[in-house]
């Protein structure tokens, strides 16, 4: 026993030390660190395109955009992140407001239309997406609501799903507060909670729950449905663009470089790659989003961007994420 015991303890010690050493030496010069609010299945092929083109590696922390934005705010100048890829403009704006993003070079900014990037030039949208109401086969065309605000109606009790921790829904609520006022947003959130809105972790499970008939309507982004339809033309979930109350708000996913990054050149090269024809086409063809760069066509099956009944709203004003989160906590939506 005496003989057997000591190697075990030594091995354990060695394992601890090896582990500590392993994490100490993980700082790699050829690696970019990215915080991503976009999920791995959608983003990682685009990241691979960058890795192949540049020879750099990207390691990514995935999470909800608002949570990552809060993390960057907490970390401040010490953030290990070089890049922040967000699912919505608001989370980027919240980071920009704290002065933590780098101003991007003019050639990058020139590629993206003004409505789809930050006014100060510190982040750019990479793709456009529209808020929609997804609906299942049990809902008749004539029943479809003109506005998300109608979903507090008793008729929809327990039949609607959303993903409250998700950036896209939060972005919509921020826009609602901005345009319709705090009271309208508050009343809506309270009404939705009272109407037994069903909670999901993210947009995909909302869509799948509609497909399975667990719920009938879902507040999500257009491409989740478009992508499923592309794979299966008989997919039972359809897209409705509600014309009123920002129901079809067009938002962007976007990316910014952290001012504290030690690999600024490479991080900027990453942004350039995201706006390249190659990656823009990937986003359009695979994840069915609207490309932002001129010359790359949107997928044919999508409703043209110009036909979506979306109000003109300055995306760069959606930075009051904190206020939205507070309101959501207050009303029990979060």
Partner 1 sequence: MDAAAAGRALGRRLPAAVRVLGTRRPPLVLLGLGLAVGLSAALPALYLVVAVFDDAGGALDAVLTDRTLGLITRSLGLAAAVTAAAIAIAVPLAWLTVRSDLPGRRVWATLATLPLVIPSYIGAYLFVSALGPRGALATLLGVQLPSIYGFTGAFLVLTLFTYPLVLIPLRSALRRMDPSLEEAARVMGRSPSEVFRSVVLPQLAPAIGAGGVLVALYVLSDFGAVSIMRFNSFTRDIYIAYQSGFGRTEAAALGMVLVIVMLVLFAVYARVRAARALHRVTPGAQRPTQPVRLGRWRWPALALCGTVVGVALVLPVGVLLYWATKQISSGLELGALTTNGWHSLLAAACAAAAASLGAIVVALLSVRYPSVLTRIVERVGYAGYALPGIVVALALVFFTTRVALPLYQTLAVLVFALAIHYLPLAVSPIGAALLQVPPRLEEAARGLGRSPMAVLRTITTPLVASGVLGGAALVFLHALKELPATLLLAPIGFDTLATDVWHQTSFGFYEASAIPALLLLLIAAPPLYLLSAKGSVGS
Binding site for partner 1 (CB under 8 A): 1-2, 4-6, 8-9, 12-13, 15-16, 19-20, 22-24, 26, 33, 39-41, 59-64, 66-67, 70, 73-75, 78, 80, 94, 165, 199, 201-202, 204-205, 208-209, 212-214, 321-322, 325, 328-329, 332, 334
Query: Which lies closer to partner 1 via its Cβ, residue 179 or residue 334?
Result: 334
Residue 74 CA to residue 61 CA, distance in Å, equals 16
Which distant-in-sequence residues (6+ apart) come within 8 Å of 280 by Cβ? 126, 127, 274, 291, 292, 293, 296
Shortest separation between residue 121's beta carbon and partner 1, angstroms: 24
Shortest separation between residue 75's beta carbon and partner 1, angstroms: 6
Query: Which lies closer to partner 1 via its Cβ, residue 165 or residue 248?
Result: 165
Residue spans of alpha helices (H) in 98-166: 106-111
Query: Which lies closer to partner 1 via its Cβ, residue 155 or residue 212?
Result: 212
The total of other beta-carbon atoms located within 10 Å of residue 115's CB is: 15
Identify the CA nearest to 69 among candidates 46, 94, 47, 49: 94
SS3 287: coil
Query: Which lies closer to partner 1 via its Cβ, residue 235 or residue 241?
Result: 235
Residue 163 CA to residue 60 CA, distance in Å, equals 22
Identify the CA nearest to 123 among candidates 145, 148, 97, 142: 97
Shortest separation between residue 210's beta carbon and partner 1, angstroms: 11
> Phi then psi for 238, rounded to 5 degrees?
-120, 165
Shortest separation between residue 212's beta carbon and partner 1, angstroms: 4
The total of other beta-carbon atoms located within 10 Å of residue 269's CB is: 17
Shortest separation between residue 237's beta carbon and partner 1, angstroms: 13
Query: Which lies closer to partner 1 via its Cβ, residue 80 or residue 243?
Result: 80
Alpha-carbon dihedral 292, 296, 302, 308, rounded to 10 degrees: 40
Query: Which lies closer to partner 1 via its Cβ, residue 23 or residue 294?
Result: 23
Shortest separation between residue 329's beta carbon and partner 1, angstroms: 7
For tokens 């794979």, name the residue: 231
Query: Which lies closer to partner 1 via its Cβ, residue 17 or residue 113?
Result: 17
Residue spans of alpha helices (H) in the chain: 2-24, 40-54, 65-75, 89-97, 106-111, 167-180, 182-194, 203-212, 222-231, 264-274, 277-285, 321-330
CB 108 within 8 A of CB 125: no
CB 288 within 8 A of CB 130: no
Query: Which lies closer to partner 1 via its Cβ, residue 66 or residue 291?
Result: 66
Show the tokens assigned to 117: 């990037």
For tokens 């921790």, name the residue: 165
Shortest separation between residue 83's beta carbon and partner 1, angstroms: 12
Shortest separation between residue 104's beta carbon and partner 1, angstroms: 23
Identify the CA nearest to 133 among candidates 224, 213, 252: 224
Query: Which lies closer to partner 1 via its Cβ, residue 26 or residue 142?
Result: 26
Strand partners, 250: 130
Shortest separation between residue 68's beta carbon and partner 1, angstroms: 9
């Amino acid at each position: 026993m005496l003989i057997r015991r000591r190697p075990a303890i030594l091995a354990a010690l060695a394992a601890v030390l090896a582990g500590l050493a392993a994490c100490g030496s993980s700082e790699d010069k050829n690696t970019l660190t990215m915080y991503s609010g976009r999920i791995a299945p959608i983003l990682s092929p685009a990241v691979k395109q960058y890795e192949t083109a540049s020879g750099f590696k990207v390691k990514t922390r995935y999470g909800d955009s608002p949570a990552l934005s809060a993390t960057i705010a907490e970390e401040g100048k010490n953030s290990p992140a070089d890049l922040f890829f967000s699912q919505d403009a608001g989370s980027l704006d919240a980071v920009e407001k704290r002065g933590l993003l780098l101003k991007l070079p003019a050639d990058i900014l020139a590629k993206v239309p003004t409505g789809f990037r930050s006014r100060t030039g510190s982040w750019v949208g990479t793709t456009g997406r529209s808020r929609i109401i997804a609906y299942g086969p049990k809902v008749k065309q004539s029943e479809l609501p003109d506005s998300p605000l109608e979903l507090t109606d008793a008729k929809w009790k327990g039949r609607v799903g959303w993903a409250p921790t998700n950036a896209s829904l939060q972005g919509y609520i921020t826009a609602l507060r901005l345009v319709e006022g705090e009271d309208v947003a508050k009343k809506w959130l309270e009404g939705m909670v009272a109407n037994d809105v069903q909670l999901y972790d993210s947009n995909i499970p909302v869509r799948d729950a509609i497909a399975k008939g667990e719920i009938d309507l879902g507040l999500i982004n257009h491409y989740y449905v478009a992508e499923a339809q592309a794979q299966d033309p008989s997919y039972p979930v359809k897209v409705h663009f509600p014309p009123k109350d920002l129901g079809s708000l067009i938002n962007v996913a976007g990316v910014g470089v952290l001012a504290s990054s030690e690999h600024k050149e490479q991080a900027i090269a990453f942004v350039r790659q995201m706006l390249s024809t190659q990656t823009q086409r990937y986003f359009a063809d695979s994840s069915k989003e609207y490309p932002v760069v001129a010359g790359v066509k949107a997928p044919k099956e999508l409703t043209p961007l110009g036909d979506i009944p979306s109000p003109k709203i300055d995306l760069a004003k959606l930075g009051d994420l904190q206020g939205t989160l507070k309101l959501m906590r207050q009303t029990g939506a979060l």
